Amino acid sequence: MYIRFGKVFHGLTILLFLFVFLYFYAALSDRIAYAVDEDGGWLKTITKGTFFYTGLIIFGLLNVILAVPGKMIENGSIASLKRLFPVGDIFREYILLWIYSFIGIINVSLSILTLFVHSINNQNEISADSFSFFFYLVPIFFLTWILALFWILFKKFQDIKENSPS
């Protein structure tokens, strides 16, 4: 049941990233800065095509690599994972929810990173300071999800300890 919420969130964040990435990609110039000095001068630049393909490759690889463990638990591909997270176990639901929602958090973070690159390149229209709240959300999201993972694993280990024959 919980897995569906995680998968829906993951799917919605894929759409969010693609919309944000393509929208800001269309608004950028042929040279894109990703580092600036104190005066706003460009320190490091790449071409628009490199930005596009690099962004899509990073997005695709992160989504595939991070979804593989979830699919392995879901399908019971590895016997040890099947024993650790059997079908019907509430912790199986929790860990799958965590995996798919974590991928969603990665996608939201990549969307915010795209917003940051856009704000660097369009400083006349938009300043990075006006979106500083969003930039602080990324580490807060990661910290919250990592703490949730430790809580899930702690509860699972307690469950194993209580149900093990002594």
Convert the pLDDT of each residue in 35-93 to its tens digit.
777 776 777 888 999 999 999 999 999 999 999 999 998 888 888 888 888 888 888 89
CA dihedral 110, 4, 144, 20 (to 10 degrees): 20
Residue 138: domain span: 2-163
d(CA 166, CA 156): 17
**How many domains is the chain built from?**
1
**Type of residue found at 76:** G
pTM for the full model? 0.87
Residue % of the chain over a pLDDT of 90: 46
Q: How far is CA 135 from the centre of its chain?
A: 14
* Cα 26 from Cα 51, distance rounded (Å): 12
What is the pLDDT, as a whole number, of residue 163?
Answer: 81
**Amino acid identity for residue 128 in this structure:** A
Find the mean pLDDT for residues 19-45: 83
As a whole number of angstroms, the distance between CA 20 and CA 12 comes to 12
